[in-house]
Amino acid sequence: MRRDISDLRSDVKAMAADIVSLKIASSSAGTKLDHIDKNMVTKGQLSLYALLTLLPIIGGGWWIVQQYLAPLLKALPH
């Protein structure tokens, strides 16, 4: 089946329009990814938050051990 030049030109124009729309879509996706990267928590930040959360919990547990377990152990017969 033979196609004439006008069909080929219309196909090329359609492909050019598709390429333009793909460029627009990819640039908007890139902009969204840049925005996500700027607002995302890094592994280092998450580790620091976990450490700062666990330190008071561990400290509180240690204080409880000192306050309640130590007198109980002293009261035990030797």
How does pLDDT run across 60-73, given as a tens digit for each residue?
Answer: 999 998 899 888 88
d(CA 18, CA 25): 10
Tokens of 61: 């547990």
Domain boundaries of the chain, sorted by first residue: 1-40, 41-78
d(CA 18, CA 13): 9
Decide which of 63 and 40 is more confident. Answer: 63
Tokens of 58: 């561990």
For the ranges 15-19, 21-25, 38-42, 53-57, the maximum mean pLDDT occurs at 53-57
Dihedral angle sign, alpha carbons of residues 14, 20, 21, 26: positive
Chain position carrying tokens 């377990």: 69
